[in-house]
């Protein structure tokens, strides 16, 4: 990048007023970039605050329809559903995951029946349904890959049949994208998209989420035998390439801000639709600091999301989605 030496070139010239700053702005955050993750719980007209995620609530299916409507009115293109499954329904075989009438599938149908024009994304992983809290089926203390993939396929088909638009496998088993894609094609769901959590790291930033879906109590041990070591960049890129070659339509990096180098590398290497998940721990840190008056929460929220655009992301899953949409609308 060539620039004349000072004082012929002065970078402050193009920073000197709002109109000039607008003209040279390289990246823009838009409501089109937002996916809003929402938590679903049992009941009617039920709202439950998530203690570790101030401002975030679990809502019953009837209220989720209102959330979908609110999102659509704000121009948010997609919401992503996460169920807080009743502990009595959690088993080691995880059958509730593919129950056509489980919380997620009821929520999808309710949104579809209400005719809300929004893309509905789901999560594919067994942890909300697993008595042992893991994303896969546990046998003799090990998370078994291929048997889990069979369960994930059943789960994916149930979600597609309920009317989901984007399926998000977040489990990190090997071979699940190809298996799910083939099953979707065979079952007549050729237009249901897959957003693979392709580069998902074994992160401590997921803590508040596990509270929100009620999985923290059940989980024994950690997820290091299936999620990627935070130290590994090449492995993350290999996983993204593998998932794209198995039929992922969109790929995701997760967590978000601490992994922006991965997002940039994914976009540059593959040029595919690339997303990042600004996860629960990232949200909680910003909210906690803002609540203490240590940072300006609104400004940090926007700045953090612009950073994803700068790193090459086409969109971001963020709990801030409705607030950002309102802020952008002025």
- From residue 110, give the alpha-carbon distance in Å to each of 6, 41, 81, 114, 189: 62, 14, 12, 6, 19
Question: Of 102-110, 147-155, 176-184, 203-211, which part binds ligand PBG (CB under 6 A)?
Answer: 203-211
Q: Check 90, 200, 223, 267 and give the catalytic one.
A: 200
- From residue 121, give the alpha-carbon distance in Å to each of 164, 165, 175, 214, 228: 6, 6, 21, 20, 23
Nearer to ligand PBG, 106 or 134 (CB): 134
Token code pair at residue 130: 């697993």
| Smallest separation, CB 178 to ligand PBG (Å) | 19
Cβ atoms < 10 Å from Cβ of 220: 9
Q: Which of 170, 196, 304, 318 binds ligand PBG (CB under 6 A)?
A: 170
Nearer to ligand PBG, 5 or 217 (CB): 217
Residue 48 parent element (H or E): strand 47-49
Cβ atoms < 10 Å from Cβ of 82: 24
- Within residues 206-225, the interface with ligand PBG by CB under 6 A covers 206, 209-210, 223
Active site residue 220: no
Active site residue 90: no
| Smallest separation, CB 264 to ligand PBG (Å) | 21
Nearer to ligand PBG, 36 or 209 (CB): 209
Token code pair at residue 271: 């040029």
**Helices and strands in the chain: count of H runs, count of E runs:** 11, 12
Q: Check 90, 223, 254, 267 and give the catalytic one.
A: 254
Question: Measuring CA to CA, which residue among 205, 204, 277, 272 is closest to residue 240?
Answer: 272
Q: How far is CA 106 from the centre of its chain?
A: 20
| Smallest separation, CB 227 to ligand PBG (Å) | 7
Contact 327, 276 (CB under 8 A): no
- Within residues 68-127, the interface with ligand PBG by CB under 6 A covers 123, 125, 127
Nearer to ligand PBG, 56 or 237 (CB): 56
| Smallest separation, CB 190 to ligand PBG (Å) | 25
- Within residues 256-315, the interface with ligand PBG by CB under 6 A covers 279-280
| Smallest separation, CB 260 to ligand PBG (Å) | 16
| Smallest separation, CB 282 to ligand PBG (Å) | 8
Nearer to ligand PBG, 201 or 237 (CB): 201
Question: Of 87-95, 154-162, 204-212, 266-274, which part binds ligand PBG (CB under 6 A)?
Answer: 204-212
Our CA dihedral for 123, 126, 129, 131, rounded to 10 degrees, sits at -150
Please name every residue paired with 326 in a beta bridge, in sequence order, or none if there are none: none
Nearer to ligand PBG, 206 or 275 (CB): 206
Dist. CA 254–CA 200, nearest whole Å: 5
Contacts of 233 (CB under 8 A, 6+ apart): 261, 262, 265
Q: Could you tell me how many residues of this chain bind ligand PBG (CB under 6 A)?
A: 12
Q: Which residues are catalytic?
A: 200, 254
Binding site for ligand PBG (CB under 6 A): 123, 125, 127, 135, 170-171, 206, 209-210, 223, 279-280
């Amino acid at each position: 990048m060539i620039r004349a030496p000072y004082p012929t070139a002065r970078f402050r010239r193009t920073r000197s007023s709002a109109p000039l700053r607008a003209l040279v702005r390289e990246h823009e955050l838009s409501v089109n970039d937002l996916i809003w993750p929402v938590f679903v719980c049992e009941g009617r007209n039920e709202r439950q605050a998530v203690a570790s995620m101030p401002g975030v609530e679990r809502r019953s299916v009837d209220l989720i329809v209102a959330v979908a409507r609110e999102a659509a009115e704000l121009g948010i293109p997609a919401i992503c559903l996460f169920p807080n499954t009743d502990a009595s329904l959690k088993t080691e075989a995880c059958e509730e995951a593919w129950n056509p009438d489980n919380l997620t599938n009821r929520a999808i149908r309710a949104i579809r029946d209400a005719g809300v024009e929004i893309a509905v994304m789901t999560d594919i992983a067994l942890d909300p349904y697993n008595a042992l809290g893991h994303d896969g089926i546990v046998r003799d203390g090990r998370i078994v890959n291929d048997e889990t993939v069979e369960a994930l396929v059943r789960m994916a088909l149930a979600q597609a049949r309920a009317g989901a638009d984007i399926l998000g496998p977040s489990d990190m088993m090997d071979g699940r994208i190809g298996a799910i894609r083939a099953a979707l094609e065979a079952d007549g769901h050729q237009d249901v998209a897959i957003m693979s959590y392709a580069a998902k790291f074994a992160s401590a930033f997921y803590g508040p989420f596990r509270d929100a879906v009620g999985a923290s109590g059940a989980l024994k041990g950690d997820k290091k035998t299936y999620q990627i070591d935070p130290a590994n960049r090449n492995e993350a890129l290999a996983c993204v390439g593998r998932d794209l070659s198995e039929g992922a339509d969109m790929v995701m990096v997760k967590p978000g801000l601490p992994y922006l180098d991965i997002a940039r590398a994914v976009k540059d290497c593959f040029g595919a639709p690339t997303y990042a998940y600004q996860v629960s721990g990232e949200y909680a840190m910003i909210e906690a600091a803002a609540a203490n008056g240590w940072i300006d929460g609104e400004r940090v929220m926007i700045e953090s999301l612009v950073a994803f655009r700068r790193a090459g992301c086409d969109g971001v899953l963020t709990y801030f989605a409705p607030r950002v949409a309102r802020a952008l609308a002025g």
